[in-house]
Amino acid sequence: MKLPIKNVILLALMLLSAGLGTALRPTISLADERPPIDLNTMVPTAFGDWQEQLNLVNQIIDPQQKAGIDSIYSQALIRTYVNSQGYGVMLSMAYGKQQNDQLRAHQPEGCYVGQGFYLAQPSEATEMSTSVGSIGITRLVAAKGSRYEPITYWIRIGEGIARTNWEMKKLQIRYALSGRVPDGMLVRVSSISDDSVKAFALQRDFINDLLSGVNSDHRQDLIGKVAN
């Protein structure tokens, strides 16, 4: 059976990565080269038109339960925000100081399906223009019964953003060649709505307000180095 060229290249990179893991053994942690990250203090409880609402946490169930996140990442943050029109958005972040094969960011697609959801709208890797530059994001819609949940997320590995396993592997190999172990950040924004077009538009506004509200010293911790 003849494999597609992309799969052949990916297999070769995986084998190379395994060899590099033995030969190079990266020992320098990228996280130790920058100021410590504290998600709870880094992310404000109010920004733009959004305010944290503690009483709504139980209304937006998180399939990526905090206990599971804590077993993989160094830190986790889950909050619900509401704007002046009463529209609720859930923000979920998870940070890992060492983003290697054993501590890889878990993509939401697998977490939602594992909790009984199905993908009502398949994942779409795209670009989002923001006030601080263009960032690579992934959008999808998960559904369970009458609940439809549009989701926007991105995964930062080191100074780059990876939207696929292919991009993750390339970043990991690049850092392995430099002798460094990258850190990683998963940022997920979701809301309950059967109108995905409106939901994604509001999530875009939320993300823009979030990036504007975060101290500029910490913005790169969320999105890495972006293209202006």
Q: What is the pLDDT of residues 169-198, one digit of tens each?
A: 888 788 878 777 788 889 999 999 999 999
Q: Is the pTM of this model over 0.75?
A: yes
Question: Is residue 93 helix, strand or coil?
Answer: strand
**Distances, alpha carbon 77 to alpha carbons 65, 91, 187, 203, in Å:** 11, 8, 10, 18
With residues binned 3-state (H G I as helix, E B as strand, rest as coil), the percentages for the chain, rounded to 5, are 40, 30, 30
Q: Within the chain, where are the H helices?
A: 5-23, 39-42, 66-70, 108-114, 165-177, 196-213, 216-223
Residues in the chain: 228
Which mean pLDDT values do the consecutive 10-residue runs of the chain (228 residues) have? 61 57 60 80 95 67 54 79 94 80 63 88 91 91 94 90 82 79 89 96 96 89 76
In DSSP notation, 193-224 reads: -S-HHHHHHHHHHHHHHHHHHS-HHHHHHHH-
DSSP state of 55: G
212's tokens: 């504007």
pLDDT at position 65: 53
pLDDT at position 57: 47
Number of H helices, E strands in the chain: 7, 11
Q: Tally Cβ neighbours within 10 Å of residue 200.
A: 22
For the chain, what is the radius of gyration of the CA atoms? 18
- Measure the CA–CA gap between 52 and 138, rounded to whole angstroms: 24
Least Cα distance to 152 among 168, 169, 135 occurs for 135
Question: Is residue 105 helix, strand or coil?
Answer: coil
pLDDT at position 58: 44
